[in-house]
């Protein structure tokens, strides 16, 4: 299936941080908040808020998906096992995470290219902790810049509308 034949977020797949396939199809019927993350960024403390959102809303149909990325000043240099340990120990992260991926440019993961095609420039990550939201049907809804905190009224209101 070609990139532009993809009709929902659930048509895409990543590789999990554990090296296993991570098809988004397994989250079908849930809203998705996909966030490119990094361990050595000024926004890294947002892991706390992302975990809180996941805890607060997963029972109502939201999945948070962290996508480690090393494209912004090399702020995610670690290997997947180190990233997973850092997130678990430092921020008690339990939401699913992928292996490191490109989120911009020609090598960007197809999901990020698709979201940009659907939402325009707003969906193009300019930095770590850019947030992309899709509804329970897998349709793109909104993009939120890195500075939008996970616990912000703006993001929480957008999530609430989908659940």
The set of catalytic residues is 41
Backbone phi, psi, residue 62, to 5°: -120, 135
The partner residues of 67 in beta bridges, in order of sequence, read 36
Neighbours of 61 (CB within 10 A): 16
Contacts 24+ apart (CB under 8 A), 19-27: 19/80, 19/99, 22/96, 22/98, 24/65, 24/111, 24/138, 27/63, 27/65
Of 9, 11, 14, 6, nearest to 102 by C-alpha is: 14
Backbone phi, psi, residue 142, to 5°: -160, 160
């Amino acid at each position: 299936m070609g990139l532009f034949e993809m009709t929902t977020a659930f048509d895409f797949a990543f590789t999990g941080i554990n090296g296993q396939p991570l098809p988004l199809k397994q989250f079908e019927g849930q809203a998705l908040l996909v966030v490119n993350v990094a361990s050595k960024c000024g926004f890294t403390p947002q892991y706390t808020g992302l975990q809180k959102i996941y805890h607060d809303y997963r029972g109502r149909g939201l999945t948070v998906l962290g996508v480690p990325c090393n494209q912004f000043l090399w702020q995610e240099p670690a290997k997947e096992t180190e990233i997973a340990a850092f997130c678990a120990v430092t921020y008690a992260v339990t939401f699913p995470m992928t292996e490191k991926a490109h989120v911009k440019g020609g090598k960007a993961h197809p999901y990020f290219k698709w979201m940009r095609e659907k939402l325009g420039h707003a969906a193009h990550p300019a930095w770590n902790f850019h947030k992309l939201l899709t509804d329970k049907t897998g349709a793109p809804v909104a993009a939120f810049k890195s500075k939008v905190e996970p616990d912000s009224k703006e993001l929480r209101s957008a999530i609430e509308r989908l659940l």
